[in-house]
């Protein structure tokens, strides 16, 4: 037995084998998913090489033990090197293979026993073949690698070359090229710039302007006071990618075909950004969630598109995060150093994103621009904010409550989680304050159309669950829509009729005088608002005129000097006043002529849902046996039962003269028609994104994926 030789040669073999395996994985990831940098091959050569070095040492020890009973070859150096190579490649390769097979072949449902046995059997066969032929090669043309210094030098040379490759630029530096120097077309000289602010996971009722007591959001409320508040605004889905796809494409999910976790936004779906870009605007978007990044094709139509990517420990980058064993290292770090969380491990905080927004706006001040800003603060993890509790000046203390860790919180935790969520909304509002002040100081606020909305809401056990994406109840779909017009036109206006996320894109193009895409299903809501405001004004003026007419002629009637025509006119005016001041018919709420028909759809974690909100009712349909345990059909009177607590399916009686027994067929029948219409012009070019493990882990961190696919993620 030669322990020193076996350890030296085993470690050398493991070092090189691990490096080659790592570089192979890194190259495959770069080729199939792409990344904004080329650091991963170098990082893999070092990390996987060092792991292989350790495994190779272990293989050398094992070889030494085996040699006590049987000599395993005539050339000890080649056998030890081969043992080290196999000892590194087999366990590391099997670990990676299990992950890939589970993801690609079994769609993350878990590998059955027969599949696991097949993988292990293939690994065993590979081991025998590699030991037999590897030793032969190492006695021949590759024998120079058996020397420890040569192996170490080869590994160092490989790492050095790859380190140099990592400096090759991939794509442009978006922040360094904000300015596009587009002249303003004549048709756009009299229209405003557009600032679109999307706050991820923001329930409408979390804002003061939507009824939350205690003045939690004075900055957003001030924006609302300067603009139009749409009180009954609803999203087309309750999770990020599907909802944003509806916002930008003005199409329901069954039409834009981007409803599932792996779905990419199709190329043939015409987006708001493309219409604006073609119309002469300088377009930019600051995406802050991987669901709406380049990975899923959301960068269409932008002059500048920046994914505000999270940061990575140990000097890593976005490409490195895709490496399987980098995530293992992160997991070990988490276990050793506790659950301290950094917000930048999940997304970029509002102050960072808003600084980028200011940079873009400044760089394009001589152009007509559209800028999308995506803020993530209310999304889990719900971070604690010590400064809000009077516990110092720190914005964060590393404590956060995340869906990825607690998928099903206890209902008893609902109040605590809602408090954490409310603090996140308060924190976001405070972060917006200096940005709004900057817009005003730059003279931009008055002349800019500002649209603030959200992709979806959040549940806090209202229907027995938490988070978002698994139901279509209002707590997950009722979102804010606030539009501040140039010069604060229509300020303090509140709209009580239903609007939808698919109405946002045509409303923006309508403000700019651009034609909406013929593909779009939404409609410009501001045109109706203007008409409604004018009608309200005219009705109020008519009522005032009638009251004044009665007052002016009542004395003539009282003293008997009025003629018959005057008496008749006064009687007619009094009747009109009585009608105008009569109590509102409670059934009128079910028949608002300006209400938009709201369709919602969901295909998330096995819950396949659809809903329609119209005529004061809401029908929700779910797939049989869905994981959330939802009834296959539900119907709610959302005028009398706004919290959706009493399912009318199977009920009796009447609602404003309508038999309850007939409502499921009537309302849910409209849903079937709406879905059929959407499917009739469904995009056919969509497909599934090929996700790197880095991208999977971002989805895991934000709670959009779970199970084996998240193994090793931070």
* CB-CB neighbours of 541 under 10 Å: 10
Tell me which CATH code domain 194-310+323-523 carries: 3.40.720.10
Do residues 223 and 436 lie in contact, with contact meaning Cβ atoms separated by under 8 Å?
yes
| Digit-coded pLDDT (tens) for 502-559 | 999 999 999 999 999 999 999 999 988 877 766 666 666 776 777 777 787 787 777 7
Do residues 63 and 3 lie in contact, with contact meaning Cβ atoms separated by under 8 Å?
no
Angle between helices 504-512 and 525-558 (to 10 degrees): 80
Give the Cα-Cα-Cα angle 376, 377, 378 (nearest 5 degrees).
100
- Which range is least confidently modeled, 196-205, 478-487, 583-592? 583-592
pLDDT (0 to 100) of residue 35: 67
Domain boundary assignment for the chain: 3-165, 194-310+323-523, 533-589
Dihedral sign (CA 454, 460, 464, 468)? positive
Tell me the average pLDDT across 102-129: 67
Tell me the average pLDDT across 609-618: 96
Tokens matching residue 432 = 């917006």
The residue among 77 and 497 whose pLDDT is bigger is 497
Do residues 177 and 304 lie in contact, with contact meaning Cβ atoms separated by under 8 Å?
yes
Confidence of residue 602 (pLDDT cuts 50, 70, 90): very high
DSSP string covering 602-635, please? EEETTEEEEEEEETTEEEEEE-TT-TT---SEEE
Residues 476 and 202: their CA atoms lie apart, in Å, by 9
The residue among 457 and 406 whose pLDDT is bigger is 457
Decide if pLDDT at 284 tops 70. yes
- Residue 513 to residues 249, 510, 521: CA-CA distances in angstroms? 18, 5, 18
| Digit-coded pLDDT (tens) for 211-247 | 999 999 999 999 999 999 999 999 999 999 999 999 9
């Amino acid at each position: 037995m030669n322990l020193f030789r076996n350890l030296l040669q085993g470690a050398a073999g493991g070092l090189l084998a691990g490096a080659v395996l790592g570089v192979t994985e890194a190259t495959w990831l770069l080729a199939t998913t792409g990344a904004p940098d080329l650091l991963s091959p170098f990082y893999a050569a070092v990390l996987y090489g060092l792991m292989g070095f350790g495994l190779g040492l272990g293989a050398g020890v094992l070889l030494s033990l085996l040699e006590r009973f049987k000599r395993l070859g005539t050339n000890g150096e080649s056998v030890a090197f081969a043992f080290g190579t196999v000892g590194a490649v087999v366990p590391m390769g099997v670990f990676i293979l299990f992950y890939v097979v589970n993801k690609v072949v079994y769609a993350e449902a878990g590998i059955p026993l027969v599949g696991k046995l097949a993988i292990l059997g293939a690994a065993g066969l590979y081991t025998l073949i590699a030991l037999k032929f590897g030793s032969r090669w190492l006695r021949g043309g590759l024998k120079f690698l058996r020397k420890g210094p040569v192996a170490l030098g080869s590994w160092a040379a490989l790492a050095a070359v790859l380190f140099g490759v990592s400096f090759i630029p991939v794509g442009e530096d978006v922040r360094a090229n904000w300015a596009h120097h587009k002249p303003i077309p004549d048709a756009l000289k009299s229209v405003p710039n557009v600032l679109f602010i999307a706050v991820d996971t923001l329930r409408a009722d979390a804002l003061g302007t939507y009824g939350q007591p205690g003045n939690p959001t004075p900055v957003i409320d001030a924006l609302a006071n300067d603009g139009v508040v749409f009180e009954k605004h609803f999203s087309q889905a309750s999770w990020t990618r599907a909802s944003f796809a509806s916002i930008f494409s003005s199409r329901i999910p069954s039409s834009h075909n981007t409803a599932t976790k792996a779905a990419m936004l199709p190329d043939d779906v015409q987006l708001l950004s493309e219409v604006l870009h073609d119309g002469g605007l300088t377009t930019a978007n600051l995406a802050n969630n991987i669901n709406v990044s380049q990975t899923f094709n959301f960068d269409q139509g932008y002059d500048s598109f920046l994914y505000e990517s999270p940061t990575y420990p140990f000097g890593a980058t976005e490409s490195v995060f895709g490496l399987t064993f980098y995530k293992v290292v992160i997991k070990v770090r988490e276990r050793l150093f506790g659950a301290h969380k950094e917000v930048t491990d999940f997304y970029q905080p509002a102050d960072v994103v808003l600084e980028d927004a200011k940079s873009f706006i400044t760089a394009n001040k001589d152009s007509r621009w559209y800028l999308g800003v995506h803020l993530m603060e209310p999304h889990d993890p719900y971070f604690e904010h010590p400064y809000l509790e009077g516990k110092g000046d720190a914005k964060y203390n590393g404590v956060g409550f995340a869906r990825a860790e607690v998928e099903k919180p206890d209902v008893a935790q609902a109040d605590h989680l809602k408090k954490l969520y409310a603090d996140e909304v308060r924190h976001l509002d405070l972060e917006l304050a200096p940005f709004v002040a900057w817009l005003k100081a730059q003279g931009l606020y008055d002349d800019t159309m500002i649209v603030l909305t959200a992709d979806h809401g959040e549940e806090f056990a209202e229907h027995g669950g938490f988070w978002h994406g698994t139901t279509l109840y209002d707590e997950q779909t009722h979102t804010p829509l606030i539009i501040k017009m140039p010069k604060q036109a229509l300020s303090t206006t509140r709209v009580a009729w239903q609007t939808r996320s698919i109405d946002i894109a045509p409303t923006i193009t309508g403000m700019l005088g651009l034609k909406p895409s013929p593909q779009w299903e939404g409609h410009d809501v501001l045109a109706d608002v203007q008409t409604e405001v004018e009608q309200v004004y005219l009705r109020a003026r008519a009522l005032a005129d009638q009251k004044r007419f009665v007052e002016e002629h009542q004395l003539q009637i009282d003293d008997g000097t009025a003629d018959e025509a005057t008496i008749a006119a006064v009687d007619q005016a009094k009747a009109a006043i009585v009608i105008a001041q009569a109590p509102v018919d409670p059934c009128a709420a079910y028949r608002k002529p300006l209400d938009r028909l709201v369709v919602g759809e969901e295909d998330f974690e096995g819950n396949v849902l659809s809903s329609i909100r119209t005529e004061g009712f809401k029908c929700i349909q779910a797939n049989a046996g869905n994981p959330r345990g939802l009834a296959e059909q539900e119907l709610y009177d959302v005028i009398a039962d706004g919290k959706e607590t009493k399912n009318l399916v199977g009920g009796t009686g009447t609602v404003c003269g309508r038999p309850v027994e007939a409502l499921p067929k009537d309302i849910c029948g409209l849903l079937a028609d709406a879905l059929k219409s959407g499917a009739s012009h469904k995009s056919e070019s969509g497909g599934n994104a090929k996700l790197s493990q880095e991208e999977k882990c971002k989805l895991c961190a934000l709670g959009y994926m779970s199970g084996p696919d998240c193994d090793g993620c931070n």
